[in-house]
Protein backbone atom coordinates (compact mmCIF):
# COMPACT_ATOMS: atom_id res chain seq x y z
CA UNK A 1 0.00 0.00 0.00
CA UNK A 2 2.77 2.41 0.68
CA UNK A 3 5.71 3.38 -1.42
CA UNK A 4 8.37 6.00 -1.05
CA UNK A 5 8.00 8.87 -3.45
CA UNK A 6 10.14 11.84 -4.17
CA UNK A 7 7.63 14.58 -4.83
CA UNK A 8 8.27 18.25 -4.38
CA UNK A 9 5.29 19.62 -2.53
CA UNK A 10 4.88 23.40 -2.12
CA UNK A 11 5.07 24.49 1.51
CA UNK A 12 1.66 26.16 1.20
CA UNK A 13 0.22 22.69 0.60
CA UNK A 14 2.10 20.80 3.29
CA UNK A 15 1.19 23.58 5.70
CA UNK A 16 -2.47 22.64 5.25
CA UNK A 17 -1.98 18.91 5.80
CA UNK A 18 0.41 19.56 8.74
CA UNK A 19 -2.18 21.75 10.45
CA UNK A 20 -4.84 19.08 10.08
CA UNK A 21 -2.55 16.33 11.29
CA UNK A 22 -1.32 18.34 14.29
CA UNK A 23 -4.95 18.76 15.28
CA UNK A 24 -5.26 14.96 15.29
CA UNK A 25 -6.91 14.43 11.87
CA UNK A 26 -5.84 12.53 8.78
CA UNK A 27 -4.97 14.55 5.66
CA UNK A 28 -4.03 13.38 2.18
CA UNK A 29 -3.49 14.91 -1.21
CA UNK A 30 -5.92 13.37 -3.64
CA UNK A 31 -7.26 13.45 -7.20
CA UNK A 32 -5.68 15.31 -10.09
CA UNK A 33 -2.65 16.57 -8.19
CA UNK A 34 -1.52 13.08 -7.12
CA UNK A 35 -2.16 11.80 -10.63
CA UNK A 36 -0.09 14.63 -12.10
CA UNK A 37 2.75 14.16 -9.59
CA UNK A 38 2.95 10.45 -10.42
CA UNK A 39 2.75 11.27 -14.12
CA UNK A 40 5.57 13.80 -13.83
CA UNK A 41 3.42 16.87 -14.51
CA UNK A 42 2.92 20.06 -12.58
CA UNK A 43 -0.46 19.92 -10.80
CA UNK A 44 -3.03 22.56 -11.80
CA UNK A 45 -4.48 22.70 -8.33
CA UNK A 46 -4.07 20.93 -5.00
CA UNK A 47 -6.89 19.04 -3.33
CA UNK A 48 -6.71 17.73 0.21
CA UNK A 49 -9.04 15.13 1.68
CA UNK A 50 -9.49 14.62 5.42
CA UNK A 51 -11.60 12.94 8.06
CA UNK A 52 -12.17 16.34 9.70
CA UNK A 53 -15.59 17.86 9.05
CA UNK A 54 -15.95 21.43 7.74
CA UNK A 55 -16.74 22.64 11.29
CA UNK A 56 -13.49 21.12 12.45
CA UNK A 57 -11.44 22.37 9.48
CA UNK A 58 -12.51 26.01 9.52
CA UNK A 59 -11.10 27.05 12.94
CA UNK A 60 -7.66 25.66 12.04
CA UNK A 61 -7.01 28.30 9.37
CA UNK A 62 -6.99 32.05 9.50
CA UNK A 63 -8.34 32.54 5.97
CA UNK A 64 -10.74 29.78 5.10
CA UNK A 65 -14.26 29.71 3.77
CA UNK A 66 -16.95 27.09 3.44
CA UNK A 67 -17.57 27.04 -0.31
CA UNK A 68 -20.75 25.07 -0.66
CA UNK A 69 -22.77 22.46 1.16
CA UNK A 70 -20.73 19.58 -0.15
CA UNK A 71 -18.03 19.40 2.45
CA UNK A 72 -15.40 21.54 0.73
CA UNK A 73 -13.50 24.22 2.62
CA UNK A 74 -11.24 26.60 0.70
CA UNK A 75 -8.02 27.59 2.46
CA UNK A 76 -6.74 30.88 1.09
CA UNK A 77 -3.06 31.77 0.60
CA UNK A 78 -3.36 35.47 0.07
CA UNK A 79 0.22 36.45 -0.59
CA UNK A 80 0.81 33.64 -3.04
CA UNK A 81 2.00 34.49 -6.55
CA UNK A 82 1.44 31.00 -7.92
CA UNK A 83 -2.22 30.90 -8.99
CA UNK A 84 -2.41 27.15 -8.40
CA UNK A 85 -1.76 27.74 -4.71
CA UNK A 86 -4.18 30.60 -4.14
CA UNK A 87 -6.93 28.39 -2.76
CA UNK A 88 -6.33 24.87 -1.49
CA UNK A 89 -9.52 22.88 -1.34
CA UNK A 90 -9.99 20.67 1.68
CA UNK A 91 -12.83 18.16 1.42
CA UNK A 92 -14.15 15.82 4.07
CA UNK A 93 -14.10 12.11 3.19
CA UNK A 94 -17.49 11.33 1.77
CA UNK A 95 -19.54 8.58 0.21
CA UNK A 96 -21.09 8.57 -3.23
CA UNK A 97 -24.53 10.11 -3.40
CA UNK A 98 -27.07 10.38 -6.21
CA UNK A 99 -26.87 13.36 -8.58
CA UNK A 100 -30.51 13.86 -9.50
CA UNK A 101 -29.95 17.39 -10.82
CA UNK A 102 -26.87 16.18 -12.68
CA UNK A 103 -24.90 18.94 -11.08
CA UNK A 104 -24.41 18.35 -7.40
CA UNK A 105 -24.94 15.27 -5.30
CA UNK A 106 -28.33 15.39 -3.58
CA UNK A 107 -26.92 14.88 -0.14
CA UNK A 108 -23.47 14.48 1.24
CA UNK A 109 -22.68 11.64 3.57
CA UNK A 110 -19.41 12.16 5.36
CA UNK A 111 -17.28 9.15 6.15
CA UNK A 112 -14.42 8.49 8.51
CA UNK A 113 -12.60 6.22 6.05
CA UNK A 114 -10.25 7.34 3.30
CA UNK A 115 -11.12 4.24 1.23
CA UNK A 116 -14.77 5.34 1.05
CA UNK A 117 -13.69 8.63 -0.41
CA UNK A 118 -11.42 7.01 -3.00
CA UNK A 119 -14.19 4.60 -3.98
CA UNK A 120 -16.52 7.42 -5.08
CA UNK A 121 -13.96 8.90 -7.48
CA UNK A 122 -14.29 8.52 -11.23
CA UNK A 123 -11.15 6.87 -12.57
CA UNK A 124 -8.45 4.77 -10.94
CA UNK A 125 -5.83 7.36 -11.89
CA UNK A 126 -7.82 9.96 -9.94
CA UNK A 127 -8.43 7.70 -6.93
CA UNK A 128 -4.97 7.74 -5.40
CA UNK A 129 -4.17 9.50 -2.12
CA UNK A 130 -0.78 10.66 -0.92
CA UNK A 131 0.08 11.33 2.72
CA UNK A 132 2.84 13.92 2.74
CA UNK A 133 4.14 13.49 6.30
CA UNK A 134 4.45 9.70 6.05
CA UNK A 135 5.39 9.83 2.35
CA UNK A 136 2.70 7.21 1.81
CA UNK A 137 0.65 6.35 -1.28
CA UNK A 138 -2.82 4.86 -0.82
CA UNK A 139 -3.90 3.25 -4.07
CA UNK A 140 -6.62 0.61 -3.58
CA UNK A 141 -7.58 0.50 -7.29
CA UNK A 142 -4.07 0.24 -8.74
CA UNK A 143 -4.20 3.65 -10.31
CA UNK A 144 -0.41 3.77 -10.44
CA UNK A 145 -0.33 0.79 -12.77
CA UNK A 146 -2.93 2.47 -15.00
CA UNK A 147 -0.91 5.67 -15.04
CA UNK A 148 2.17 3.76 -16.13
CA UNK A 149 0.13 2.00 -18.83
CA UNK A 150 -1.61 5.27 -19.74
CA UNK A 151 -5.06 3.78 -19.28
CA UNK A 152 -8.34 5.28 -18.10
CA UNK A 153 -10.34 2.78 -16.08
CA UNK A 154 -13.45 3.53 -14.06
CA UNK A 155 -13.37 2.83 -10.34
CA UNK A 156 -15.76 -0.06 -9.53
CA UNK A 157 -18.45 -1.15 -11.98
CA UNK A 158 -18.09 1.24 -14.92
CA UNK A 159 -21.67 1.08 -16.11
CA UNK A 160 -23.03 1.83 -12.64
CA UNK A 161 -20.57 4.64 -12.20
CA UNK A 162 -21.52 6.25 -15.51
CA UNK A 163 -25.20 5.89 -14.76
CA UNK A 164 -24.67 7.58 -11.39
CA UNK A 165 -23.10 10.56 -13.09
CA UNK A 166 -22.88 10.56 -16.88
CA UNK A 167 -20.56 13.55 -16.90
CA UNK A 168 -17.80 11.05 -16.08
CA UNK A 169 -18.14 9.87 -19.69
CA UNK A 170 -17.19 13.27 -20.96
CA UNK A 171 -14.47 13.54 -18.34
CA UNK A 172 -13.00 10.36 -19.82
CA UNK A 173 -12.88 12.04 -23.23
CA UNK A 174 -11.33 15.12 -21.64
CA UNK A 175 -8.62 13.08 -19.89
CA UNK A 176 -7.94 11.32 -23.18
CA UNK A 177 -7.38 14.73 -24.77
CA UNK A 178 -5.29 16.12 -21.92
CA UNK A 179 -3.23 13.07 -21.02
CA UNK A 180 -3.30 11.13 -24.30
CA UNK A 181 -4.47 8.04 -22.39
CA UNK A 182 -6.53 5.20 -23.88
CA UNK A 183 -9.76 3.95 -22.39
CA UNK A 184 -9.72 0.41 -21.01
CA UNK A 185 -12.07 -2.08 -22.77
CA UNK A 186 -14.74 -2.59 -20.07
CA UNK A 187 -14.85 1.13 -19.37
CA UNK A 188 -15.16 1.81 -23.09
CA UNK A 189 -18.10 -0.59 -23.46
CA UNK A 190 -19.82 1.03 -20.51
CA UNK A 191 -19.32 4.47 -22.06
CA UNK A 192 -20.96 3.32 -25.30
CA UNK A 193 -23.88 1.91 -23.37
CA UNK A 194 -24.34 4.78 -20.94
CA UNK A 195 -23.72 7.66 -23.37
CA UNK A 196 -27.45 8.50 -23.77
CA UNK A 197 -27.53 9.40 -20.07
CA UNK A 198 -25.52 12.49 -21.05
CA UNK A 199 -28.79 13.93 -22.33
CA UNK A 200 -29.77 14.57 -18.70
CA UNK A 201 -26.59 16.33 -17.71
CA UNK A 202 -26.66 20.07 -17.11
CA UNK A 203 -25.40 21.91 -20.19
CA UNK A 204 -23.01 24.00 -18.13
CA UNK A 205 -21.18 20.88 -16.99
CA UNK A 206 -20.98 19.63 -20.57
CA UNK A 207 -19.73 23.02 -21.73
CA UNK A 208 -16.96 23.06 -19.13
CA UNK A 209 -15.64 19.67 -20.21
CA UNK A 210 -15.97 20.66 -23.87
CA UNK A 211 -13.84 23.73 -23.18
CA UNK A 212 -11.26 21.59 -21.40
CA UNK A 213 -11.16 19.31 -24.45
CA UNK A 214 -10.64 22.27 -26.78
CA UNK A 215 -7.99 23.70 -24.48
CA UNK A 216 -6.01 20.46 -24.46
CA UNK A 217 -3.26 19.71 -26.98
CA UNK A 218 -5.14 17.03 -28.76
CA UNK A 219 -8.80 17.88 -29.32
CA UNK A 220 -8.89 16.49 -32.86
CA UNK A 221 -8.23 12.93 -31.72
CA UNK A 222 -10.43 13.28 -28.67
CA UNK A 223 -13.39 14.49 -30.75
CA UNK A 224 -12.92 11.63 -33.21
CA UNK A 225 -12.92 9.22 -30.26
CA UNK A 226 -15.96 10.96 -28.81
CA UNK A 227 -17.73 10.41 -32.11
CA UNK A 228 -16.74 6.73 -32.23
CA UNK A 229 -17.98 6.24 -28.67
CA UNK A 230 -21.33 7.85 -29.45
CA UNK A 231 -20.58 10.73 -27.07
CA UNK A 232 -20.04 13.66 -29.42
CA UNK A 233 -23.71 14.02 -30.24
CA UNK A 234 -24.33 15.06 -26.62
CA UNK A 235 -22.04 18.02 -27.13
CA UNK A 236 -23.56 18.70 -30.54
CA UNK A 237 -25.00 16.55 -33.31
CA UNK A 238 -24.19 19.07 -35.98
CA UNK A 239 -20.49 18.41 -36.36
CA UNK A 240 -21.22 14.85 -37.40
CA UNK A 241 -23.32 16.06 -40.34
CA UNK A 242 -19.99 16.73 -42.06
CA UNK A 243 -18.90 13.10 -42.01
CA UNK A 244 -18.53 11.79 -45.55
CA UNK A 245 -19.50 15.15 -47.04
CA UNK A 246 -17.10 15.39 -49.91
CA UNK A 247 -16.04 18.90 -50.90
CA UNK A 248 -14.88 20.63 -54.03
CA UNK A 249 -11.56 19.93 -55.66
CA UNK A 250 -9.65 22.42 -53.57
CA UNK A 251 -10.12 20.15 -50.55
CA UNK A 252 -8.50 16.88 -49.60
CA UNK A 253 -10.77 16.05 -46.68
CA UNK A 254 -14.49 15.74 -45.97
CA UNK A 255 -16.20 18.58 -44.09
CA UNK A 256 -15.88 16.83 -40.73
CA UNK A 257 -12.15 16.22 -41.01
CA UNK A 258 -11.58 19.68 -42.44
CA UNK A 259 -13.27 21.28 -39.40
CA UNK A 260 -11.21 19.12 -37.04
CA UNK A 261 -7.93 19.80 -38.81
CA UNK A 262 -8.66 23.52 -38.75
CA UNK A 263 -9.26 23.30 -35.01
CA UNK A 264 -6.08 21.31 -34.50
CA UNK A 265 -4.09 24.00 -36.29
CA UNK A 266 -5.49 26.65 -33.92
CA UNK A 267 -4.38 24.43 -31.04
CA UNK A 268 -0.93 23.80 -32.48
CA UNK A 269 -0.56 27.57 -32.77
CA UNK A 270 -1.76 27.97 -29.15
CA UNK A 271 -4.49 30.34 -30.32
CA UNK A 272 -7.31 31.18 -27.96
CA UNK A 273 -10.65 29.49 -27.37
CA UNK A 274 -12.54 31.91 -29.63
CA UNK A 275 -10.40 30.96 -32.61
CA UNK A 276 -10.56 27.28 -31.65
CA UNK A 277 -14.35 27.34 -31.52
CA UNK A 278 -14.58 29.30 -34.76
CA UNK A 279 -12.17 26.92 -36.49
CA UNK A 280 -14.16 23.90 -35.35
CA UNK A 281 -17.45 25.38 -36.50
CA UNK A 282 -16.44 27.49 -39.49
CA UNK A 283 -17.72 25.06 -42.12
CA UNK A 284 -20.46 23.47 -40.06
CA UNK A 285 -23.07 24.88 -42.47
CA UNK A 286 -21.57 23.17 -45.51
CA UNK A 287 -23.54 19.91 -45.45
CA UNK A 288 -26.80 21.90 -45.45
CA UNK A 289 -25.63 24.30 -48.17
CA UNK A 290 -24.10 21.77 -50.55
CA UNK A 291 -25.39 21.68 -54.13
CA UNK A 292 -24.03 20.01 -57.23
CA UNK A 293 -23.22 22.29 -60.11
CA UNK A 294 -23.46 20.69 -63.55
CA UNK A 295 -21.77 23.67 -65.01
CA UNK A 296 -18.77 23.49 -62.70
CA UNK A 297 -18.93 19.71 -62.41
CA UNK A 298 -18.24 20.19 -58.76
CA UNK A 299 -19.93 20.81 -55.41
CA UNK A 300 -20.88 24.32 -54.38
CA UNK A 301 -21.59 25.62 -50.89
CA UNK A 302 -23.13 29.03 -51.44
CA UNK A 303 -24.26 30.69 -48.23
CA UNK A 304 -22.72 28.05 -45.98
CA UNK A 305 -21.17 30.77 -43.84
CA UNK A 306 -24.58 32.30 -43.14
CA UNK A 307 -26.12 28.92 -42.33
CA UNK A 308 -23.04 27.98 -40.34
CA UNK A 309 -23.08 31.17 -38.29
CA UNK A 310 -26.66 30.44 -37.27
CA UNK A 311 -25.82 26.85 -36.41
CA UNK A 312 -22.78 27.86 -34.36
CA UNK A 313 -24.84 30.43 -32.52
CA UNK A 314 -27.44 27.79 -31.60
CA UNK A 315 -24.85 25.26 -30.50
CA UNK A 316 -23.05 27.73 -28.25
CA UNK A 317 -26.26 29.14 -26.83
CA UNK A 318 -27.47 25.61 -26.07
CA UNK A 319 -24.27 24.94 -24.23
CA UNK A 320 -24.74 28.19 -22.28
CA UNK A 321 -21.58 29.87 -23.48
CA UNK A 322 -21.26 33.53 -22.45
CA UNK A 323 -22.99 35.99 -24.77
CA UNK A 324 -19.74 37.63 -25.82
CA UNK A 325 -18.19 34.31 -26.83
CA UNK A 326 -21.25 33.48 -28.89
CA UNK A 327 -21.13 36.86 -30.63
CA UNK A 328 -17.44 36.69 -31.44
CA UNK A 329 -17.47 33.11 -32.70
CA UNK A 330 -20.62 33.69 -34.74
CA UNK A 331 -19.10 36.74 -36.42
CA UNK A 332 -15.96 34.84 -37.32
CA UNK A 333 -17.94 31.98 -38.83
CA UNK A 334 -20.17 34.45 -40.66
CA UNK A 335 -17.29 36.33 -42.29
CA UNK A 336 -14.71 33.58 -42.75
CA UNK A 337 -15.26 33.60 -46.53
CA UNK A 338 -13.98 37.16 -46.89
CA UNK A 339 -12.48 37.77 -50.30
CA UNK A 340 -8.75 38.28 -50.04
CA UNK A 341 -7.53 38.64 -53.58
CA UNK A 342 -5.40 41.67 -52.93
CA UNK A 343 -4.96 42.31 -56.63
CA UNK A 344 -8.67 42.94 -56.95
CA UNK A 345 -9.80 44.40 -53.67
CA UNK A 346 -9.43 47.91 -52.38
CA UNK A 347 -8.84 49.39 -48.99
CA UNK A 348 -12.52 50.22 -48.77
CA UNK A 349 -13.40 46.51 -49.03
CA UNK A 350 -11.07 45.90 -46.11
CA UNK A 351 -12.72 48.76 -44.26
CA UNK A 352 -16.10 47.10 -44.80
CA UNK A 353 -14.88 43.79 -43.42
CA UNK A 354 -13.54 45.60 -40.38
CA UNK A 355 -16.95 47.10 -39.80
CA UNK A 356 -18.58 43.68 -40.08
CA UNK A 357 -16.36 41.71 -37.74
CA UNK A 358 -15.16 44.54 -35.52
CA UNK A 359 -11.61 45.64 -34.85
CA UNK A 360 -11.06 43.18 -32.03
CA UNK A 361 -12.06 40.21 -34.17
CA UNK A 362 -10.28 41.05 -37.38
CA UNK A 363 -6.97 39.46 -36.36
CA UNK A 364 -8.84 36.41 -35.11
CA UNK A 365 -10.39 36.25 -38.56
CA UNK A 366 -6.92 36.20 -40.12
CA UNK A 367 -5.91 33.35 -37.81
CA UNK A 368 -9.11 31.55 -38.72
CA UNK A 369 -8.18 31.89 -42.39
CA UNK A 370 -4.81 30.30 -41.61
CA UNK A 371 -6.61 27.40 -39.88
CA UNK A 372 -8.93 27.05 -42.83
CA UNK A 373 -6.04 26.88 -45.30
CA UNK A 374 -4.07 24.34 -43.29
CA UNK A 375 -7.29 22.36 -42.76
CA UNK A 376 -7.67 21.88 -46.51
CA UNK A 377 -4.33 20.10 -46.60
CA UNK A 378 -2.66 22.94 -48.47
CA UNK A 379 0.73 23.36 -46.94
CA UNK A 380 1.30 27.11 -47.16
CA UNK A 381 -0.04 29.09 -44.29
CA UNK A 382 1.22 32.54 -45.04
CA UNK A 383 1.44 33.18 -48.76
CA UNK A 384 2.06 36.59 -50.20
CA UNK A 385 -1.58 37.48 -50.69
CA UNK A 386 -2.48 36.73 -47.15
CA UNK A 387 0.36 38.85 -45.80
CA UNK A 388 -0.64 41.63 -48.18
CA UNK A 389 -4.17 41.46 -46.82
CA UNK A 390 -2.90 41.79 -43.26
CA UNK A 391 -0.85 44.80 -44.30
CA UNK A 392 -3.99 46.35 -45.79
CA UNK A 393 -5.81 45.87 -42.49
CA UNK A 394 -3.05 47.66 -40.66
CA UNK A 395 -3.16 50.46 -43.20
CA UNK A 396 -6.86 50.87 -42.60
CA UNK A 397 -6.38 50.77 -38.85
CA UNK A 398 -3.56 53.28 -38.98
CA UNK A 399 -4.67 56.63 -37.57
CA UNK A 400 -4.70 59.21 -40.35
CA UNK A 401 -1.95 61.79 -40.20
CA UNK A 402 -3.59 65.20 -40.22
CA UNK A 403 -4.15 68.32 -38.20
CA UNK A 404 -6.92 66.66 -36.17
CA UNK A 405 -4.10 64.87 -34.33
CA UNK A 406 -3.15 68.20 -32.77
CA UNK A 407 -4.24 69.15 -29.28
CA UNK A 408 -5.51 72.40 -30.76
CA UNK A 409 -7.93 73.08 -33.63
CA UNK A 410 -9.03 75.85 -36.01
CA UNK A 411 -11.68 77.37 -33.78
CA UNK A 412 -9.23 77.37 -30.83
CA UNK A 413 -6.92 79.45 -33.02
CA UNK A 414 -9.67 81.83 -34.09
CA UNK A 415 -10.52 82.70 -30.51
CA UNK A 416 -6.93 82.58 -29.26
CA UNK A 417 -5.48 84.79 -31.96
CA UNK A 418 -8.56 86.86 -32.71
CA UNK A 419 -8.27 86.25 -36.47
CA UNK A 420 -10.83 85.55 -39.19
CA UNK A 421 -11.37 82.06 -40.64
CA UNK A 422 -9.20 81.69 -43.75
CA UNK A 423 -6.09 80.10 -45.23
CA UNK A 424 -3.88 81.50 -42.47
CA UNK A 425 -5.43 79.10 -39.96
CA UNK A 426 -4.53 76.19 -42.24
CA UNK A 427 -0.94 77.35 -42.56
CA UNK A 428 -0.54 77.68 -38.82
CA UNK A 429 -2.08 74.26 -38.16
CA UNK A 430 0.17 72.58 -40.73
CA UNK A 431 3.24 74.36 -39.41
CA UNK A 432 2.32 73.06 -35.95
CA UNK A 433 1.76 69.60 -37.40
CA UNK A 434 5.27 69.51 -38.81
CA UNK A 435 6.77 70.38 -35.44
CA UNK A 436 4.79 67.75 -33.58
CA UNK A 437 5.57 65.07 -36.16
CA UNK A 438 9.23 65.92 -35.63
CA UNK A 439 8.81 65.81 -31.85
CA UNK A 440 5.52 64.31 -30.55
CA UNK A 441 6.21 65.61 -27.02
CA UNK A 442 5.35 69.06 -28.33
CA UNK A 443 1.73 68.06 -28.87
CA UNK A 444 0.38 69.78 -25.77
CA UNK A 445 -2.16 72.56 -25.66
CA UNK A 446 0.25 74.74 -23.75
CA UNK A 447 3.11 74.49 -26.25
CA UNK A 448 0.89 74.76 -29.31
CA UNK A 449 -0.83 77.93 -28.05
CA UNK A 450 2.49 79.61 -27.39
CA UNK A 451 3.90 78.57 -30.73
CA UNK A 452 0.71 79.62 -32.60
CA UNK A 453 1.07 83.12 -31.21
CA UNK A 454 4.65 83.31 -32.53
CA UNK A 455 3.60 81.97 -35.94
CA UNK A 456 0.73 84.44 -36.09
CA UNK A 457 3.21 87.30 -35.92
CA UNK A 458 5.14 86.01 -38.92
CA UNK A 459 5.01 87.36 -42.41
CA UNK A 460 2.22 85.58 -44.38
CA UNK A 461 4.52 84.29 -47.15
CA UNK A 462 6.96 82.97 -44.61
CA UNK A 463 4.09 81.31 -42.78
CA UNK A 464 2.70 79.78 -45.97
CA UNK A 465 6.11 78.24 -46.61
CA UNK A 466 6.10 76.62 -43.16
CA UNK A 467 2.54 75.41 -43.74
CA UNK A 468 3.52 73.79 -47.04
CA UNK A 469 6.48 72.12 -45.38
CA UNK A 470 3.99 70.67 -42.88
CA UNK A 471 1.83 69.35 -45.71
CA UNK A 472 4.81 67.64 -47.32
CA UNK A 473 5.91 66.23 -43.99
CA UNK A 474 2.43 64.80 -43.44
CA UNK A 475 2.50 62.95 -46.76
CA UNK A 476 6.01 61.68 -46.17
CA UNK A 477 5.11 60.43 -42.72
CA UNK A 478 2.08 58.59 -44.11
CA UNK A 479 4.24 56.99 -46.77
CA UNK A 480 6.83 56.01 -44.20
CA UNK A 481 4.19 54.43 -41.98
CA UNK A 482 2.82 52.39 -44.84
CA UNK A 483 6.33 51.36 -45.87
CA UNK A 484 6.91 50.23 -42.30
CA UNK A 485 3.76 48.09 -42.44
CA UNK A 486 4.83 46.63 -45.77
CA UNK A 487 8.26 45.77 -44.43
CA UNK A 488 6.64 44.08 -41.45
CA UNK A 489 4.66 41.79 -43.77
CA UNK A 490 7.34 41.55 -46.48
CA UNK A 491 5.02 42.86 -49.17
CA UNK A 492 5.28 45.62 -51.76
Q: Cα separation of 491 and 381, whole Å?
A: 15
CA distance 431 to 470: 5
Nearer to Mg ion, 47 or 283 (CB): 47
- CB of 30 or CB of 52, closer to ligand ATP: 30
Instruction: Tell me the C-alpha distance between 303 and 309, whole Å.
Output: 10
Per rule CB under 5 A, is residue 45 in the interface with Mg ion?
Answer: yes
146 part of the interface to ligand ATP, by CB under 6 A: no
Please pick, from the candidates 153, 168, 424, 474, the single residue that binds ligand ATP as defined by CB under 6 A: 168
User: What's the closest the beta carbon of residue 35 comes to ligand ATP, in angstroms?
Assistant: 6
Q: Are 236 and 315 in contact (CB under 8 A)?
A: yes
Q: Is 32 in the site for Mg ion (CB under 5 A)?
A: yes
Which of 46/389 has CB closer to ligand ATP?
46
Contacting ligand ATP (CB under 6 A), which of 32, 54, 158, 219? 32
Binding mask 103-142 for Mg ion (x = CB under 5 A): ----------------------------------------
Closest approach, Cβ 318 to Mg ion, in A, equals 26
Let me know: does 419 contact 425? Beta carbons within 8 Å: yes
436 binds, among Mg ion, ligand ATP, none (CB under 5 to 8 A by kind): none
Distance CA 483, CA 492 (A): 8
Total residues interacting with ligand ATP, rule: CB under 6 A: 12
Q: Is 214 in the site for ligand ATP (CB under 6 A)?
A: no
C-alpha to C-alpha distance for 25 and 16, rounded to whole angstroms: 11
With CB under 6 A as the contact rule, the residue among 44, 352, 380, 450 that binds ligand ATP is 44
394-402: long-range contacts (C-beta < 8 A, 24 or more apart)? 394/485, 394/488, 394/489, 395/347, 395/350, 395/482, 395/485, 396/347, 396/350, 396/351, 396/354, 397/354, 397/359, 398/481, 398/482, 398/485, 400/478, 401/437, 401/474, 401/477, 401/478, 401/481, 402/433, 402/474
- Examine residue 72 and tell whether it contacts ligand ATP (CB under 6 A): no
In eight-state DSSP terms, residue 52 is S
Q: Does position 77 bind ligand ATP by CB under 6 A? A: no
Instruction: Kindly state whether residue 47 participates in binding ligand ATP, applying the rule CB under 6 A.
Output: yes
DSSP secondary structure string for all residues of 220-245: HHHHHHHHHTT-GGGT-SGGGGGTT-
**DSSP tag of 154:** B
Q: Considering the complex, what minimum distance in angstroms separates the CB of residue 254 from ligand ATP?
A: 32
What is the number of the residue whose Cβ is closest to ligand ATP? 32
Q: Which residues of this protein are in contact with ligand ATP, per CB under 6 A? A: 31-32, 44-45, 47, 121-122, 126-127, 165, 167-168
Q: Which residues of this protein are in contact with Mg ion, per CB under 5 A? A: 32, 45
Amino acid sequence: MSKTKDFSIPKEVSHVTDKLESAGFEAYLVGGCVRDLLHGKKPKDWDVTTNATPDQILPLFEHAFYENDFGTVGVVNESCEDKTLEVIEVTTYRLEAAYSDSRHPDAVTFSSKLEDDLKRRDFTINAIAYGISQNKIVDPFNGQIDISKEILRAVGNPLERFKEDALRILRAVRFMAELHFEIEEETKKAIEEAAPALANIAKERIRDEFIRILESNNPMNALIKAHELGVLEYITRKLEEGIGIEQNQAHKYDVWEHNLRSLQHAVDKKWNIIIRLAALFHDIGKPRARKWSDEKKDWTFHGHEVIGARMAERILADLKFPKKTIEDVTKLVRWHMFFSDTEKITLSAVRRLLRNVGHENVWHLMDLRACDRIGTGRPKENPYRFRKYKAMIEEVLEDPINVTMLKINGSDLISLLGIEPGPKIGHILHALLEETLEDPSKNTKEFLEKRAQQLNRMDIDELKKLGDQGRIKKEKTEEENIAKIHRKYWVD
